[in-house]
Amino acid sequence: MSKGKIIALTALIAFAFAIVGLSNAVAGEKIQIQCRAAKYTPKVEAIQVGDEEGHMLILAENIGIHFNLKGKPFMHGWSHRDMYVWDTGTNSGHGYEEIIDKDGDKIYMAWDGKAVEGGSKGTWGFFKGTGKFEGITAKGTWISYDIAPNQSYVDWEGEVELP
């Protein structure tokens, strides 16, 4: 057998094992994740509450991309969109995130948080998935860092149970 055919056959076998390994790694397994999400805020609306000066409800939307800090394909390079309400009186908020993989399948996450020095932190959980993510669940913690007007990043970690 020629050297070129041996290399091609080796590459084909390695590819097959990688595909089988990825499919086996996701079926019904719990995995630990550590991700970073880069975010930009294109939409912000502030509504004055009126009970005291400066107390507002902020309705906003973020868009951005997730990166898996462990180098795994799950959630690496996937886009997201956050919709949230932030109360400046309590310095806390609640929101939802739609995470979209490269095939267009989606994961929906709910989160709660409170302001801390330089950003905010809180908890999150997956509550719904579409396509291959139907039945996904997860929970964990996050911390965000404000880096410029309308720009931030969020580090988050937790445990995901894949369907």
Residue 70 and residue 56: Cα distance in Å, rounded? Answer: 38
Question: What predicted TM-score, i.e. pTM, was given to this entire model?
Answer: 0.80
Percent of the chain with pLDDT over 90: 81
Whether 148 contacts 128, CB under 8 Å: no
Whether 124 contacts 156, CB under 8 Å: yes
For 17, 21, 22, the CA distances from 11, given in Å and listed in that order, are: 10, 15, 16
Span 55-74, pLDDT tens digits: 999 999 999 999 999 988 99
Q: Is 53 helix (H, G, I), strand (E, B) or coil?
A: coil
Q: What is the CATH number of domain 30-161?
A: 2.40.350.10
pLDDT tens per residue, the chain (163 residues)?
544 433 333 343 444 443 333 344 456 789 999 999 999 999 999 999 999 999 999 999 999 999 999 988 999 999 999 999 999 999 999 999 999 999 999 999 999 999 999 999 999 999 999 999 999 999 999 999 999 999 999 999 999 999 9
